[in-house]
Amino acid sequence: MKQTRRLRQGAGALLLALAAALAPAAQGQAQTVTAVMQSGLRVLDPVMTTAFMTRDHGYMIYDTLLGTDEHFKVQPQMASWTESEDRKTYVFTLRDGLKWHDGAPVTSEDCIASIKRWADADATGQVLMTLIDRIEAVDAKQFRVVLKQPTSLLLEGLAKLSSRPLFMMPKRIADTPSAQPITEFIGSGPFKFVASEFKPGLKVVYEKNKDYVPRAEPPSWTAGGKVVKVERVEWVAMPDQMTAVSALQNGEVDFMQQVPFDLLPMVEGQDNLQVRVLDKLGAWTYFRMNHLYPPFDNKLLRQAAIAAVSQEDVLKALVGNPKYYRTCAAVMGCGNPMGDNYGEDWVVPARIDRAQALLKEAGYDGTPVVILQPSDIAMVSPQPVVVGAALRKAGFKVVMKAMDWQSVVSQQGNQKSPADGGWNIFSTYSILATSGDPFGNTTLAANGRKAWAGWPDVPEIEALRLKYAKAADIAERKQIAAQIQKLAIDEGVVAPLGQFQIPAAYSKKLSGVLDAPVTLFWNIGK
């Protein structure tokens, strides 16, 4: 044990030296907040991925037309809106003072182009566009959306919190095809991206956008005033979690986005540190199977994989402390209005007998299951290990493919066969604040190769999602959501692994750290 600790400390010292070498002199200034995020940032285009790191990066430099407050209410952000009596025509008006980071004014044409690029890639946007008759500019500050029929999905989509929020970009950038990454990172948000200091996977620097005009309202989730109170924010990557905790204790960093549960005792009770769960609703974790290739092109084998895994085993390995977790079969969240526990008798406990019977019925031929295994993020590293062990116990042949998290993020969209460098299973988590309906919940899109990684093709789910978008009655929506839950489990669209909360820790020199489902750096003072 002592030798292991010495090895970890030695590795930590090397990482600290690396972080120090990467940091400019400005790091020591009082107006710089240095943060250790969950992983290094490599993917900068927020349309290309649903990864939380890229989403958090997006909130730094881009702004959104609408925001969502802590009461789940859609609020004006870049724009306000009016709607016609028949609820089919919406006119959005940009507020005064909006400028891109290069100094050009934000126009309605920029916003229309941004909406179209986002909608081409996003599961919510794809359905929304089928309900839109046309989007057109009225003038430089106004644009009109005409719907084929009334739907609340328009405002809900424009205010989407995660995983792929609708960030506004200049038209010349937003005209980039959605499948092609952008190469210029200019927004109109409260921070500017400092491209000259970007070190992929290691360091990201943001500077205060001094031209940004915040709204007058108090901040509330992604709504209200985005007031920046520091000059710089620097994200540094420290894959060794012990190193990150030590740096926080010593005042070398100010903020740690996620504290591994086994290291919580090191920061709890420290006079100079605050430990807090910023996302009170928490997250749910799950694994996804690749529906395009064997063995999980077979529904019975997808069911077998779900039945083999114990949520309690996963949550014990991931969290350990029952104070921070609960088992749950609902893909739209236990406690959420649309949550439904269909399948809990075989989704929550390990049902090895059921899994083995399904393998036999399906005629499983020993095709290897390639599981992506991230090695550098405490919140996603344990799940694949437990899943792999459970599948082996049930009778699957399992191959673990280790890599860092950003490589997993890049690999997720790989539609090649596992034999050609693809994958069969990966695990991740999503926030419950955005998972409580069939559109905010990225995992529930089931339109084949246009769906999120895993690419399930279940036309019945797509028909129900469209029906949900058109429904105005809450009771009808709940009934539709229950049908989607049943199909999602039976078809193996997603395999729920339970719910948990993630504590953050930060220096008491910081003030104004906001409670929110996403990590926000406006309102923070030092």
pLDDT in tens, 317-340: 999 999 999 999 999 999 889 999
- CA-derived radius of gyration, the chain: 23
Q: Which pLDDT band holds residue 17 (cuts at 50, 70, 90)?
A: very low
The residue to which tokens 């008798």 are assigned:
345
Share in percent of the chain as helix, strand, coil (round to 5): 35, 20, 45
C-alpha span between 291 and 455 (Å, rounded)? 6
What's the angle, vertex CA 124, arms to CA 300 and CA 122, rounded to 5? 85
In a 3-state reduction of DSSP, which class is residue 11? helix
Q: Which pLDDT band holds residue 410 (cuts at 50, 70, 90)?
A: confident
Is residue 230 a contact partner of residue 241, using CB atoms and an 8 Å limit? Answer: no
Residue range 344-351: average pLDDT?
Answer: 98
C-alpha span between 458 and 463 (Å, rounded)? 9
Among candidates 85, 186, 84, 101, which has minimal Cα distance to 145? 84
Residue range 236-258: average pLDDT?
Answer: 94
Look at residue 19 in the predicted model and tell me its pLDDT: 45
Look at residue 378 in the predicted model and tell me its pLDDT: 87
Name the phi and psi angles at 30, rounded to 5.
-65, -25
Q: Which pLDDT band holds residue 22 (cuts at 50, 70, 90)?
A: very low
Task: List, in order, residues 6 or more apart from 199 with CB less than 8 Å away.
Answer: 22
Average pLDDT over the chain reads 93
Side-by-side strand order, sheet with 132-139: 79-83, 89-94, 142-147, 132-139
Q: How many CA atoms lie within 13 A of 414 on its CB side?
A: 18
C-alpha span between 241 and 256 (Å, rounded)? 10
Total residues belonging to the chain: 526
Look at residue 16 in the predicted model and tell me its pLDDT: 45
pLDDT tens per residue, range 206-218:
999 999 999 999 9
**CATH code for the part of the protein at 283-500:** 3.10.105.10
Residue range 451-477: average pLDDT?
Answer: 95
In a 3-state reduction of DSSP, which class is residue 347? helix
Q: Which CATH class is domain 66-174?
A: alpha beta
Residue 29 has pLDDT above 90, yes or no: no
Q: What residues form DSSP beta bridges with 374?
A: 403
Q: Which pLDDT band holds residue 163 (cuts at 50, 70, 90)?
A: confident
* Stretch (H or E) spanning 469: helix 459-470
Lowest mean pLDDT, pick from 2-16, 78-92, 122-136, 250-264: 2-16
Name the phi and psi angles at 473, rounded to 5.
-85, 130
Task: List, in order, residues 6 or more apart from 61 with CB less than 8 Å away.
Answer: 101, 185, 186, 187, 189, 191, 192, 193, 206
Q: Which pLDDT band holds residue 2 (cuts at 50, 70, 90)?
A: very low
Name the phi and psi angles at 172, rounded to 5.
-60, -30
Pairing between β-strand 132-139 and β-strand 32-36 as defined by DSSP bridges: unpaired
Look at residue 8 in the predicted model and tell me its pLDDT: 42
C-alpha span between 498 and 284 (Å, rounded)? 6
DSSP string, 24-76: -GGGGSTTEEEEE-SS------TTT---HHHHHHHHHH--BSEEE-TTS-EEE
Task: List, in order, residues 6 or more apart from 104 with CB less than 8 Å away.
Answer: 170
Distance from chain centroid for Cα 208: 24
Among candidates 376, 267, 353, which has minimal Cα distance to 307? 353
Q: Which pLDDT band holds residue 20 (cuts at 50, 70, 90)?
A: very low
Query: Could you name the CATH architecture of 2-23+30-39+190-278+502-507?
Result: 3-Layer(aba) Sandwich (3.40)
Is residue 183 a contact partner of residue 48, using CB atoms and an 8 Å limit? Answer: no
Handedness of CA 299, 305, 309, 314 (dihedral sign): negative
C-alpha span between 158 and 63 (Å, rounded)? 11
Q: Which pLDDT band holds residue 184 (cuts at 50, 70, 90)?
A: very high
Boundaries of every domain in the chain: 2-23+30-39+190-278+502-507, 66-174, 283-500
Q: Which pLDDT band holds residue 227 (cuts at 50, 70, 90)?
A: very high
pLDDT tens per residue, range 372-409:
999 888 899 999 999 999 999 999 999 999 999 889 98
Residue range 58-75: average pLDDT?
Answer: 97
DSSP string, 128-150: HHHTEEEEEEEETTEEEEEESS-
| High-pLDDT (> 90) share of the chain, % | 89
Look at residue 21 in the predicted model and tell me its pLDDT: 41
C-alpha span between 346 and 199 (Å, rounded)? 45
Give the pTM.
0.86
Cβ-based neighbour number of residue 103 at 10 Å:
8
Among candidates 312, 327, 320, 315, which has minimal Cα distance to 264? 320
Residue 210 exposed, middle or buried by CB count within 10 Å (0-12, 13-18, 19+): exposed
List helix spans (H) across 215-366.
Answer: 241-249, 264-267, 299-308, 311-318, 344-347, 352-362
